[in-house]
Amino acid sequence: MSDSQQTESSASGGAVGSGAIPGLLFAAFWASASVATKFGVQSAHPFWLATIRFMIAGSGMLLFAYGIGRRNPLPNRVEWQRLTIFAFLNTTVYLGLYVLAMREVSAGIGSLGVATNPLFITLMSAVWLRRPLRWYEGAGIALGLIGVTVATYPLLEDAHATVRGLLILMTGMVSVSAATVYYARFDWRLPPIVINGWQVLIGGLLLLPVTLLVADFQPDRFDQTFWVSVFWLVLPVSVVALQLWFYLVRQDAVRASLWLFLCPIFGFAYSAVLTGEPITLFTLAGTALVLAGLWLARKKK
């Protein structure tokens, strides 16, 4: 091996090593959202958990974006319209349905459902943008859906999941996939932190009337477990995990996406240890099918 090849090999190994810790931390934090949500909805109504989280996270990001010494622009009229549509699909509907579903499905299944998001995005982009669906993408989507079915089958029998909860969860996945395709249609002038801050805050404001209408306000239910859940969802998940994700994407977007494959594994591990949810052969087989579907659908990218 020549000196130049050795140098390239060393540099490549260093790059992989430097990305391993951020990647593992991202997957660990991102997957923890399901368990944190599961604990939070046991204390208060899911919509209160979501609304309060959105208000705190959105306000915090905007405070940072427009803080002292920062000159980030405000959205113009067209951008306000786009942000509102994006917020409705990505935050109000998706995360609103997600927290609602977590009352009726296990945290592990919630994490596995989130992992199927790339498959729904592939299908949605093919339908919405009229892009031909390649055979390996279709096969990947089919494997992913079969995997979710296999993993959830035994949980339906022992009350760790309900059909209604799964339908709510999958509807949320469709909504966030539509939001992703909608977002990708435009060249955004605004910085990512401004977009994210406004869409989270707007999503919370859109959810607030629904929360006031259907969720009883019971201050005594906002106990320590509730606030710990909110804290975890805002800081380690919404702030730390997303910053790690942006770092990984800047390093290598394709390799960054591979860390998403670890999220279901972390999710089921958290569920088993923290909530006592069972891990069966069905769980392992279903997760393997979902991961195979994700790999197959993305193997040409």
For residue 116, give both structure tokens. 């199927």
- C-alpha–C-alpha distance, residues 196 and 238, integer Å: 10
Give the pLDDT mean for 267-287: 82
Question: What pLDDT, on the 0 to 100 scale, is given for residue 200?
Answer: 92
CA distances from 193 to 53, 246, 292 (A): 17, 11, 33
Tell me: the pLDDT tens digits for 123-146? 777 777 677 777 777 777 787 778
Question: What pLDDT, on the 0 to 100 scale, is given for residue 203?
Answer: 95
Longest dimension (CA), the chain: 70
What pTM does this model have? 0.79
> Which carries the bigger pLDDT value, residue 47 or residue 8?
47
Question: What pLDDT, on the 0 to 100 scale, is given for residue 2?
Answer: 46
Distance, CA of 195 to chain centre: 17
* Angle at the Cα of 256 from the Cα atoms of 24 and 90, rounded to 5 degrees: 100
Q: For the residues of the chain, what is the DSSP string, one character each?
A: --HHHHHHHHHHHHHHHHHHHHHHHHHHHHHHHHHHHHHHHHHS-HHHHHHHHHHHHHHHHHHHHTSTT--PPPP-HHHHHHHHHHHIIIIIIHHHHHHHHTTTB-HHHHHHHHHTHHHHHHHHHHHHS-----HHHHHHHHHHHHHHHHHHHHHHHTTSB-HHHHHHHHHHHHHHHHHHHHHHTS---S-HHHHHHHHHHHHHHHHHHHHHHHS---GGG--HHHHHHHHHIIIIIIIIIHHHHHHHHHH-HHHHHHGGGGHHHHHHHHIIIII-----HHHHHHHHHHHHHHHHHHTT-
Give the pLDDT mean for 190-218: 92
Which range among 62-71, 134-143, 236-245 shows the weakest confidence by mean pLDDT? 134-143
Tell me: the pLDDT tens digits for 281-293? 887 888 788 778 7
For the chain, give the percent of residues with pLDDT over 90. Answer: 30
Residue 229 · residue 49 · CB < 8 Å: yes
Residue 115 · residue 262 · CB < 8 Å: no
For the chain, give the percent of residues with pLDDT over 70. Answer: 86
Distance, CA of 54 to chain centre: 14
Residue 293 · residue 147 · CB < 8 Å: yes
pLDDT at 116 over 90: no
Residue 102's φ and ψ, nearest 5 degrees, are: -70, -10
pLDDT band at 301 (very low <50, low <70, confident <90, very high): low
Averaged pLDDT score across all residues of the chain: 81
Residue 161's φ and ψ, nearest 5 degrees, are: -160, 155
For residue 171, give both structure tokens. 């509807």
* Angle at the Cα of 80 from the Cα atoms of 76 and 85, rounded to 5 degrees: 155
Residue 43's φ and ψ, nearest 5 degrees, are: -95, -50
- C-alpha–C-alpha distance, residues 21 and 19, integer Å: 6
Give the pLDDT mean for 244-250: 75
